[in-house]
Amino acid sequence: MRSRILSFTIFLILFLAFIETPSSLTSTADVRYRSAPWDPPCGLTESVEVLCLLVFVADVSVKSYLVGWAQFRMNLWLLAYLAVLVVSLMDWIVSLSLVCQEALDEPQDPRPGPPCPSAQPHPRWSLAVGAVRAHRHPTLLFMNLPPLRIRRLLRPFFLMQNSSMMKKTLKCIRSSLPEMASVLLLLGVHLCVFTMFGMLLFTGKEQGDGQDRERLMYFRNLPEALTSLLVLLTTANNPDVMTPAYSKNRAYAIFFIVFTLIGSLFLMNLLTAIIYNQFRGYLMKSFQTSLFRRRLGARAAYEVLSSMTAEGEAHRQEVGVRPQDFLQVLQKVQLDSSHKQAIVEKVHSYGGDLLPADEFQKLFNEFDKRVIKEPPPRPEYLSPFLKSAQFVFSHRYFDYLGNLIALGNLLSISVFLVVDADVLPEDRDDFILGILNCVFILYYLLELLLKVFALGLPGYLAYSRNVFDGLLTAVLLVLEISTLAVYRFPHPGWKPEMLGLLSLWDMARLVNMLVVFRFLRTIPSVKLMAVVASTVLDLIRNMRAFGGILVVVYYVFAIMGINLFRGVIMAPGNGSLAPHNSSAPCGSFEQLEYWANNFDDFAAALITLWNVMVVNNWQVFLDAYRRYSGPWSKIYFVLWWLVSSVISVSLFLALILENFLHKWDRRSHLQSLAGDPDTTCQ
């Protein structure tokens, strides 16, 4: 209960970023089309925030009370928790004392009338502002600088603090830092050496020479050359960077290929190897640790309970736990009812004897036994006709028939999609598709009813796949009925009109596509797919810690990005420096119309960061932000590339490897027990 409140609070305080002043509540992030966002009334987000902080204060005081002051002082995580809370609260008080002045101080939204570029906050200033904002005056200089709200940057700490898995993963990353630093150093040396070689190679002599064009485009000066090769390390400008020189002479290609081979294939993969090396046996060890903790807990419980027994009956020689004491304690503990029931039964089987330590431990093995729920009994029908009908409709071939019908449904949608692709939207005739859809939905309804008849309602709901099918059918039915109500019955030349983002009709088709999951469900039953599919499912379960770290990293960088680059990208045309689309050179930010990739609000910043993480075309971002915001913006993007693409992606791969190999080892262990030969080669 406590942990659930805490989780919700963490979610809430993190979610605030979407609503707070550079709010993300516009339909698009594109600076050309964006409308003025809705701003929350003054004090709304602040009051939600203080409520969350108070919950954390309560949490930290409970925790410090539980562990005691001596322990508390030793626990770095708890100390940091306290410090973050204090800083956040102070920052909050400062915000409050300005009574929403912050929002007014900030640069106006670019849409109504963008400020002139010279008045834009310089990125380095806004960092400095963090230091001076406590005692700042509304002077002209600091008038429209966005304040750096430190507490926003600190928020992800609450998420990290709350998960032991994340702390463990963080520890793993930290312990691989020295080796990663050495590989990064090698990478740096590699980059520098090749930059020097490149600048010597492409000195450029005659005008219009291949060397000369290479120099002018990619090796103009040291920062330019470094950036070119850094981007080549991510292969994001691969054929382009070698094109001018390679067109002149084949031999120049060798320079770029050797660079990519060493840098991108060799050193980058070495980073992955280093991270994976730290994660080997990670799952196995965390499994062992949790088992060890449980055994320790059980043993402690045994000691406490047996000392109670000894107190009560001082004359008894034997040491052990009285079953009634144990049952009494068990009543007060929150446990899964089926497990509790099993333990109580086990305890009763001992009679009134004292439980010795090993028997006491064995009791807890009941937790490992999975409860197999018996499906509720089927309804009993008397008539033989009903009985045979029940047999038919509860048979698995009936399931297969349903899947087949669903496949037909999918195929019909796909065929119409392909046929209609070349027809303009206005000329499409949805008559046949409308009829077909009705038929399919009627079949699904029939299937639902027949299954309920055969299995009984409790029996039907006992299988999660039936619940999914039932829900899908219900949603489809509602959508179909409303479609019919709005557009009338299908007739030749029937064209459901379009409303809003997706019309009701399109929605019905989209939901129909969810029928796909009926097939995905059959994948694990194909032998070839079984391991892969179950690995995928397991992975998702074990991925939480990684997901948490990703959230933290994204959050911190997004908030930093908003503080550094908010309002830097401005719509072309009215007073901004950006040229019009038609005049922009090929491959530039403006020509590619990346206007939506800005840092003007939290959601937009997330997508921008995602695009940089995927690395493709990130040189466009580097170049655009260099032009709009200054050369130092490169540091931010390169740092983000290192953190996200290099470290996170390696971490992800390491987790996948670890999960897969763990699974595989257990499977091949089971197989070797069953006498199957090992499947690894040689």
Judged by CB under 8 A, the chain residues 603 through 632 that form the site for a second copy are: 603-604, 607, 610-611, 614-617, 620
Q: How far is the CB of 66 from a second copy (least distance, A)?
A: 24
Q: How far is the CB of 481 from a second copy (least distance, A)?
A: 21
What is the rounded end-to-end Cα distance, in angstroms, of the chain?
53
* Measured CA distances, 498 to 328, 416, 421, 501, 508 (Å): 65, 18, 17, 8, 13
Q: How many helices (H) and strands (E) in the chain?
A: 30, 0
Which residues in 227-286 contact a second copy (CB under 8 A)? 235-240, 243-244, 246-251, 253, 257, 260, 264-266, 269-270, 272-274, 276-278, 280-282, 285-286
Q: Which CB atom, from 324 or from 414, has the smaller least distance to a second copy?
A: 414
Q: Give the C-alpha separation, 128 to 148, whole Å.
A: 9
Q: Which CB atom, from 173 or from 343, has the smaller least distance to a second copy?
A: 173
Which residues in 510-529 contact a second copy (CB under 8 A)? 510, 513, 516, 520, 523, 528-529
Query: Of 30, 105, 106, 325, which one interacts with a second copy (CB under 8 A)?
Result: 30
Residue 146's nearest CA partner among 161, 124, 162, 129 is 129
Stretch of 219-227, 377-385, 462-470, 557-565 contacting a second copy, by CB under 8 A: 219-227
Q: Does 35 bind a second copy (CB under 8 A)?
A: no
Which residues in 576-595 contact a second copy (CB under 8 A)? 586-587, 591-595
Stretch of 70-78, 135-143, 150-158, 177-185 contacting a second copy, by CB under 8 A: 177-185
Q: How far is the CB of 225 from a second copy (least distance, A)?
A: 8
Q: Does 537 bind a second copy (CB under 8 A)?
A: no
Residue 302's nearest CA partner among 317, 273, 322 is 322
Residue 22's nearest CA partner among 538, 559, 474, 536 is 559
Q: How far is the CB of 441 from a second copy (least distance, A)?
A: 17
Q: Does 667 bind a second copy (CB under 8 A)?
A: no
Stretch of 56-64, 325-333, 411-419, 562-570 contacting a second copy, by CB under 8 A: 411-419
Stretch of 49-57, 293-301, 384-392, 406-414 contacting a second copy, by CB under 8 A: 406-414
Q: How far is the CB of 453 from a second copy (least distance, A)?
A: 32
Query: Of 509, 521, 626, 627, which one interacts with a second copy (CB under 8 A)?
Result: 509
**Which is it for the CA torsion 314, 317, 319, 321, positive or negative?**
negative
Q: Which CB atom, from 202 or from 460, has the smaller least distance to a second copy?
A: 202
Q: How far is the CB of 217 from a second copy (least distance, A)?
A: 11
Quick one: tokens of 550?
């990703």
Quick one: tokens of 298?
């059980």
Q: Does 440 bind a second copy (CB under 8 A)?
A: no
* Measured CA distances, 391 to 15, 453, 454 (Å): 51, 11, 7
Quick one: tokens of 179?
């080796």
Helix segments in 364-430, DSSP class H: 384-394, 396-420
Q: Which CB atom, from 45 or from 260, has the smaller least distance to a second copy?
A: 260
Q: Are 9 and 53 in contact (CB under 8 A)?
A: no
Q: How many CA atoms lie within 13 A of 162 on its CB side?
A: 20
Q: Which residues pair with 355 in a beta bridge?
A: 321
Q: Which CB atom, from 309 or from 608, has the smaller least distance to a second copy?
A: 608
Q: Which residue has the tokens 């690894």?
A: 680
Q: Does 506 bind a second copy (CB under 8 A)?
A: yes
Q: Which CB atom, from 209 or from 303, has the smaller least distance to a second copy?
A: 209
Q: Does 656 bind a second copy (CB under 8 A)?
A: yes
Q: How far is the CB of 480 from a second copy (least distance, A)?
A: 16
Which residues in 85-114 contact a second copy (CB under 8 A)? none
Which residues in 51-70 contact a second copy (CB under 8 A)? none
Which residues in 146-175 contact a second copy (CB under 8 A)? 168, 171-172, 175
Q: How far is the CB of 239 from a second copy (least distance, A)?
A: 5
Stretch of 61-69, 112-120, 457-465, 504-512 contacting a second copy, by CB under 8 A: 504-512
**Which is it for the CA torsion 491, 493, 499, 504, positive or negative?**
positive
3-state secondary structure (DSSP) of residue 290: helix
Burial of residue 635 (number of CB atoms within 10 Å: 0-12, 13-18, 19+)? exposed
Burial of residue 559 (number of CB atoms within 10 Å: 0-12, 13-18, 19+)? buried
Stretch of 390-398, 532-540, 556-564, 635-643 contacting a second copy, by CB under 8 A: 532-540
Q: Are 111 and 35 in contact (CB under 8 A)?
A: yes
Q: Does 475 bind a second copy (CB under 8 A)?
A: no
- Please state the φ and ψ torsions of residue 321, each to the nearest 5 degrees: -110, 135
**Cα–chain-centroid distance for residue 210?**
46
Q: Which CB atom, from 32 or from 339, has the smaller least distance to a second copy?
A: 32
Residue 283's nearest CA partner among 679, 672, 665, 671 is 665
Q: How far is the CB of 317 from a second copy (least distance, A)?
A: 42
Quick one: tokens of 189?
């040396």
Q: Are 178 and 115 in contact (CB under 8 A)?
A: no
Q: Which CB atom, from 564 or from 651, has the smaller least distance to a second copy?
A: 651
Amino acid identity for residue 357 in this structure: A
Q: Which CB atom, from 118 or from 680, has the smaller least distance to a second copy?
A: 680
Q: How far is the CB of 407 from a second copy (least distance, A)?
A: 13
Q: Are 619 and 587 in contact (CB under 8 A)?
A: no
Burial of residue 207 (number of CB atoms within 10 Å: 0-12, 13-18, 19+)? exposed
3-state secondary structure (DSSP) of residue 321: strand
Q: How far is the CB of 380 from a second copy (least distance, A)?
A: 41
Query: Of 97, 221, 349, 583, which one interacts with a second copy (CB under 8 A)?
Result: 221
Q: Which CB atom, from 144 or from 645, has the smaller least distance to a second copy?
A: 645
> What is the size of the binding site for a second copy (CB under 8 A)?
123
187-206 footprint of a second copy as x/- string (CB under 8 A): --x---x--xx-xxx-xxx-
Query: Of 41, 68, 112, 178, which one interacts with a second copy (CB under 8 A)?
Result: 178
Q: How far is the CB of 658 from a second copy (least distance, A)?
A: 9
Q: Does 217 bind a second copy (CB under 8 A)?
A: no
Q: Give the C-alpha separation, 218 to 227, whole Å.
A: 9
Helix segments in 488-569, DSSP class H: 504-513, 516-520, 527-542, 544-565
